[in-house]
Structure 1
């Protein structure tokens, strides 16, 4: 009996060794360079011990391939091969020119058992394409102008909270997160969240739960990404039950209340309700084949909150941090804001924001240094021959486009650690190659809510900079480090700033 067990064990070890050798020879067989085993061990240690963030590890990977002047490289995520394009021309083909080969992101979706996961960011194939087409008019410039006044109302509480801390210090990371929570609550759900008044409001707490679930939640996300079919078969949910129930109930009650009482507001929820009832966001048109369900409304409202809450608040906080380190830039952007607002008697209008060209540069440079996502994920949906090479990417292969690495590449951005808004002057932008700036992605799958995210970021910064001067407080821990638990780029410590009246 012992001999049989020993023989079975030996056979199992041999089979596993053969299987692993085959799996981990994927790139070698195709002549694509991969980092050595020591590189992977180091990365796994840093990830499991949460020694640094996704962005930090992504930058190390980028530099490994860049130092070797490679067009592209290969990685392994567990046993899955992952393609890393380095050449911007190849990236352009992936994200835009040959988009139909890379339509999907490869994230976990369980539409039947976890409807909240079936939102625009994760959906694939025809379902994504159809929903994107339906939702695109919701984020047109005209619709953004419609929600502008609703957004502007949230700045009243922002100023009230800031005035309480005059000539003192404030954790700006917390303030901007509460501000964007109120904005998304008002514009996406039509609700007054009062997060600025009450830091422990339910919307604020749910937002924190989504982005900061800790080590075990990150392990769960890795498993869902690696074995999606198995996890769907087991009916595993990506969104936690309490979060899913909260947002589903909020959306259902909001929609039912508005329809029953014929309540109409200038917000994104109004547009989603129109899509549900008539299939069109315009009042004078109808396309019943284009309608969406209550579950789809809930899922899209959820991703609006997720995408708009953390990313915009972090961009605002990072921007103010950089302006504290560059007081001359802070002075210049404030002068522009005041000068433009004088033309409209001090009133901030949708049109006046477009005149603030220097503010646009400052925000663009912030997003260059701190893009919301360090990596853009894609799945090869059908075999693709990489232009200019003999490499054929098979269907099902995973890809990682290194946005953070590109943004910190001295070839495209000399002295990348320097905060320099003039990188985004018309002259300098025209000297850089296409696809060297990817804070929202590019191509058909770029962020649909980009206009809204930029709008709320600009409005918040304008209201803060026109009223207050900021300097760095000694309580801010330097050097700044990214949160290893966060999927997006965010600080792992509070950002304390001194404030005083302009």
Structure 2
């Protein structure tokens, strides 16, 4: 019997050897990409290239590309290469090169290169993923939803929710603040952008909260985004790859359909994001050049934009606020200084946290900026090269369709700009210190034409929530808080790993 099995075992072993040799040959050929072009690169290994720590679950996307940047910077290379498995990735480090990619030569690097498939996965067709003429048209129209005048109106709504937030914090001393701030942010974006009273802060609409979190738990997860980076879009589309589960898609498509139908019944315009998108569903809109006419949005396109603004409006702001409170609880001297500024300025405004009061809070600005310096919520700025590009002043040519990863996480940990980068220090953002750093050395919202269109909204939402909390509470680390503090390694955006437990001691303001 053993004699009869021997040929089978030998054949199987031979087959495995052939497969192994083929895999090794494939990777060795892939790993010649940068060497053959004379571009310095980090030494890769089979099978993960330079991403072994990522695939072993030790770091997330942001930290992986940050670490590549810092190693290339340490080597003194203006731009270097690394491999995500077998895929070559350009990592620019020199500030002038980064400025050219993001700003001055943006026309050559206009797209993120992420997955978009509007037919089978309609919610993927949002502004962040959109490309070309469609992106230009929509990007030119959306800033009108975030003008200073409209933000003043939104601030009134935000301030009302900040009072509800303070009431919620009164209920307990030790609180998992991540959950509370997620609900706070959901209520704000729902009210300001869609005119919805969701009341998730009052523990209502649990399904909305669940489906809202699915965006970051499901779409921007390790496995799906690895596939997006490694596999060409047309192949993913061929297999009807989906970023969003059908349940999430159906939930939000139905929600936004109800919003649209309700708005069409109303006789008075709210002049918010929803009204703007409804206007873009009409054929009479000029295109981005002002000379042609843009195609109207269909419902799926409208819903995708509503969806991405909803998600970005709640998760990025709630995470920023959570991380700021954690740092203030760990650095009580900074918290005390911030509270003194808040109280001093609010005395001029009868205790009202409003637009003008927040605008005067310079130290609040510094605390906010330092949080996003240390924790840029979206930590990468991917770009695709649309044609061969010879980098001025170098011998490097980035080839058409090459994948470039500008990493704001890496830039903002660069010791040339931010000595002792792990330290939380708002003084980095005094006018004097900011003037010492070059343009594009701080880019938590991106930079250039692809800068976050909702930046102003997110800043106001976070600052108002923070001012309300620090005015009313001493915030300290809870005994329930697991230390050392770490970031979640499984997602694309930066989030605290696990719950963030803080103690809130009410301050007598009478």
State the aligned residue count.
495
Residues 185 and 313, structure 2, Cα contact 8 Å, conserved in 1: yes
What is the aligned partner in structure 2 of residue 53 from structure 1?
60
For residues 5 and 162 of structure 1, what CA distance do their matches in structure 2 show? Answer: 64
Any unmatched runs of 5+ in structure 2? 1-6, 287-291
What SS does the corresponding residue of 1:37 show, helix, strand or coil?
coil
What is the aligned partner in structure 1 of residue 483 from structure 2?
478
Residues 279 and 292, structure 1, Cα contact 8 Å, conserved in 2: no
Q: Could you list the per-position Cα deviations for residues 457-490 of structure 1 after superposition, in whole angstroms to 9, with x for gaps in the alignment?
A: 0111111111111111121111110101221111
| Aligned-residue CA RMSD (Å) | 2.8
TM-score by length of structure 1 reads 0.91
What is the aligned partner in structure 2 of residue 111 from structure 1?
118
Q: Does 1:386 align with 2:391?
A: yes
Taking structure 1 as reference, are residues 79 and 39 closer, same or farther at Cα in structure 2, changes over 3 Å only? closer
For residues 164 and 18 of structure 1, what CA distance do their matches in structure 2 show? Answer: 62
What SS does the corresponding residue of 2:113 show, helix, strand or coil?
coil
What is the aligned partner in structure 1 of residue 132 from structure 2?
125
Q: 1:72 aligns with which of 66, 72, 79?
A: 79
For residues 219 and 241 of structure 2, what CA distance do their matches in structure 1 show? Answer: 18
What is the aligned partner in structure 2 of residue 400 from structure 1?
405
Q: Could you list the per-position Cα deviations for residues 46-82 of structure 1 after superposition, in whole angstroms to 9, with x for gaps in the alignment?
A: 3333223223323322232122111111112232211
Residues 476 and 496, structure 1, Cα contact 8 Å, conserved in 2: yes
- Measured after TM superposition, the shift of residue 261 of structure 1 is 3.6
Q: Could you list the per-position Cα deviations for residues 362-405 of structure 1 after superposition, in whole angstroms to 9, with x for gaps in the alignment?
A: 10011001101222111111111112111111110001112112
Taking structure 1 as reference, are residues 81 and 42 closer, same or farther at Cα in structure 2, changes over 3 Å only? closer
Q: 1:83 aligns with which of 64, 83, 90?
A: 90
What SS does the corresponding residue of 1:144 show, helix, strand or coil?
helix
Q: Could you list the per-position Cα deviations for residues 232-285 of structure 1 after superposition, in whole angstroms to 9, with x for gaps in the alignment?
A: 12222222111111111111111111212435435322332233347679xxxx
- Measured after TM superposition, the shift of residue 308 of structure 1 is 1.8
For residues 400 and 199 of structure 1, what CA distance do their matches in structure 2 show? Answer: 40
Residues 44 and 50, structure 2, Cα contact 8 Å, conserved in 1: no
- Measured after TM superposition, the shift of residue 145 of structure 1 is 2.2
Residues 62 and 405, structure 1, Cα contact 8 Å, conserved in 2: yes
- Between 308-317 and 40-49, report the one with greater CA deviation: 40-49
Residues 328 and 335, structure 2, Cα contact 8 Å, conserved in 1: yes
Matching of residues 11-410 of structure 1 within 5 Å: 19-38=26-45, 41=48, 44-165=51-172, 168-198=173-203, 201-213=206-218, 217-227=221-231, 228-262=233-267, 264-265=269-270, 267-277=272-282, 289=294, 291-410=296-415
What SS does the corresponding residue of 2:200 show, helix, strand or coil?
coil
What SS does the corresponding residue of 1:471 show, helix, strand or coil?
strand
What SS does the corresponding residue of 2:448 show, helix, strand or coil?
coil
For residues 203 and 212 of structure 2, what CA distance do their matches in structure 1 show? Answer: 14
Any unmatched runs of 5+ in structure 1? 282-286
For residues 4 and 53 of structure 1, what CA distance do their matches in structure 2 show? Answer: 41
